[in-house]
Structure 1
């Protein structure tokens, strides 16, 4: 027999969506649900929640998030201060680099692309810094963007790579992370069509951060080629 639960406070329950769309309420909302004796198989193995049960609401199946996460070998944590659910590695609090107001740019650099329009190796990304670089009479094959960090951060992470707009060019891309005039990280030989590379840089005490985008040409490359190089999902950790 189904156990009918009334006055269930949806806003206080952490669940994981299995199928269908998410039902969301900005404020706590009372709903009426029916718990069901659901069976779970994770990678072919039978699994049973140690606490809590799944239920179906308006055609969508919900199950305890902690049960699913830990069954897949992922730690699940709840941060009450920020009302954030962490599944797997917990990064800590961070500030998106592109949410800061940049100090200056030199060359063709953009931070205001529409979310999901920056693409590397067929994957679209929410935000980032996109630069166009080329070698010509009016350009030295370089572009850059500066931020005033004022020593407030310790770590910078990002994904870097050649934008799909340049996936067929022969020239290679270079990205340099510079702190207070000193090279902190150089990522070279970026090739169109390759997956992005993870970057993790110590920026402890850095007052001024500069991201430099360059083109790496040799005699076999077409000097008229234009490269689009991306610095994606950049995060600053305190």
Structure 2
């Protein structure tokens, strides 16, 4: 099994324990019960002592350092930090903050959204309210901690088939991308566009924000 670690601050090396088909990662730490990462004490109730050694979970330490952890069962590899083919912003690296977006996750057939007649269930959507038989989508905001580790953001978006599109609303749907509080791009979509895919340069961005009144489909960073 390989362990990929891209953060030099994780100076305690790693051993992986396989138990009943589940993968449990532990950082080896001699005689340490309390875990302090960059001055912050983190909770790790799974920590235990065995044969004079203390074991704490990789995930607890890595996430305290702002590093996602991903297990790839196909090649028996635990990734800490960057993954060679990028990170999925739905499953691998989730938003640390969400505004105006209750029940926002599109993740199954019962919580999907239709654009140009095709259903999508991997991404996010904002809150909404009904106007007659149609839906008015509000501005949702999603924030991720990229830590300056990625170069490109790719996502798709479009106007949902049930969206309110009368008058000025027909062409006013939009999505914006900010990096560290600065605008990177604003993208306007209309019902005639269908699903559109965008690639955005996020080189050096630590805090990524995607906002707007259209869904965010298949967001990914590389």
TM-score by structure 1 length? 0.48
What is the match of residue 25 of structure 1? none
Within 1, Cα distance between the matches of 2:220 and 2:117? 22
Deviation at 1:112, TM superposition (A): 2.4
Q: Which has the larger radius of gyration?
A: 1
Within 2, Cα distance between the matches of 1:103 and 1:94? 18
Distance 1:82 1:201, change over 3 A: farther
What is the match of residue 99 of structure 2? 106
Instruction: Find the partner of 1:150 among 147, 151, 162.
Output: 147
Gaps of 5+ in 1: 1-80, 84-91, 135-140, 215-228
What is the match of residue 196 of structure 2? 197
Aligned-partner SS, 2:212: strand
**Residues 1-238 of structure 1: matches in 2 within 5 Å?**
93-99=85-91, 100-108=93-101, 110-116=103-109, 117-132=112-127, 142-166=139-163, 168-170=165-167, 171=169, 172-188=172-188, 190-192=189-191, 194-214=193-213, 229-237=214-222
CA contact (8 A) 1:109 1:143 kept: no
Deviation at 1:118, TM superposition (A): 2.1
CA offsets 1:54-101 (integer angstroms, 9 cap, x no match)? xxxxxxxxxxxxxxxxxxxxxxxxxxx967xxxxxxxx7121111223
Distance 1:114 1:97, change over 3 A: closer
Within 1, Cα distance between the matches of 2:103 and 2:202? 22
Within 1, Cα distance between the matches of 2:151 and 2:122? 21
Within 2, Cα distance between the matches of 1:125 and 1:235? 15
Over the residues paired in the alignment, what is the CA RMSD in angstroms?
A: 3.0
Deviation at 1:163, TM superposition (A): 1.4
